[in-house]
Amino acid sequence: GAVVSQHPSWVICKSGTSVKIECRSLDFQATTMFWYRQFPKQSLMLMATSNEGSKATYEQGVEKDKFLINHASLTLSTLTVTSAHPEDSSFYICSFSRAGAGSNQPQHFGDGTRLSIL
Amino acid sequence: AQTVTQSQPEMSVQEAETVTLSCTYDTSESDYYLFWYKQPPSRQMILVIRQEAYKQQNATENRFSVNFQKAAKSFSLKISDSQLGDAAMYFCAYRSPERGLKYIFGTGTRLKVLA
């Protein structure tokens, strides 16, 4: 099956630090990438959708200047949490849709990144 | 707007028994797809089963099957012969061509499997 590599899996850093999370598709081209945020014992909340080579589309309430998304190639997308604060602590998950995939095709998820801001 | 509701925050099942997780959704769209995902303690989202709304036949994948009631907008997941490895959070998800490739996830049901 499709493999998505997300790293780091866990990061702890001081308040004010910027943190970059990488998400790679290892065996397929992904035109569309999704970034989710998940609080403990809660569901996945879609933060933004990005298409390769174009600007990300952010969901309502998500600060685009806080959460910078770069989808520079068909196999790589990054999420940078800028000037992170304790309230940004959460579990972040990426997922890809294969190039040409329709709505009936599942997304392929990364293993997630646990971000802890001290 | 579409919504997905999972009314059972937590369920328990004895090993080898059968359990049903409920999911209801609300939509005015006629073309859509429904998914069940499993999120074990490792946190990776794993596809369990999917159903196309235009198909009347319920999807089945080994011990996992769905009861899809389109008129009632219900999409429950039945797990037969439950195993310890089935313990996880289960999320119901909705997707449609009009929404592009975005999912709407339910709030999840935590399934505990008792030995």
> Which chain B positions have a beta carbon within 8 Å of A104's beta carbon?
33, 50, 52, 95
Structure tokens at A110: 């990364």
Q: What burial class does residue A84 get, using C-beta atoms within 10 Å of its C-beta: 0-12 exposed, 13-18 middle, 19+ buried?
A: buried
User: Could you tell me the pLDDT band of residue A42, with boundaries at 50, 70 and 90?
Assistant: confident
Of the candidates A97, A103, A110, the beta carbon closest to that of B33 is on A103
Residue A74 vs residue A36, higher pLDDT = A36
CA distance B1 to A104: 19
pLDDT on residue A29? 82
User: Could you tell me the pLDDT band of residue A1, with boundaries at 50, 70 and 90?
Assistant: low
CA distance A75 to A51: 11
Q: In B19-108, which residue ranges form alpha helices assigned H by DSSP?
A: none
* Nearby residues of A55 by Cβ (< 8 Å), 6 or more positions away: none
> Which chain B positions have a beta carbon within 8 Å of A93's beta carbon?
43, 45
Residue-wise pLDDT for B37-88, tens only, equals 999 988 889 999 999 999 989 999 999 999 999 999 999 999 999 999 999 9
Percent of chain B with pLDDT over 70: 100
**Local structure of residue B54 (DSSP, 8 states):** T
Residue-wise pLDDT for A70-114, tens only, equals 887 888 999 999 999 999 999 999 998 877 777 778 888 999 999
Tell me the Cα Rg of chain A.
14
**Closest alpha carbon within chain B to A38:** B43
How many of the other CB atoms lie within 10 Å of CB of B35?
23
Residues 86-115 of A with CB under 8 A from B: 91, 93, 95, 97, 101-104, 106-107, 109-112
Q: What is the residue type of B38?
A: K
How many of the other CB atoms lie within 10 Å of CB of B6?
21
CB pair distance less than 8 Å for B107 and A104:
no
Residue-wise pLDDT for B20-47, tens only, equals 999 999 999 989 999 999 999 888 899 9
pLDDT mean across residues, chain A = 90
Structure tokens at B57: 């036949």
pLDDT on residue A73? 85
Return the bridge partners of B43, or none: none
pLDDT on residue A41? 81
Q: To 10 degrees, the CA torsion angle through A8, A11, A16, A17? A: -40
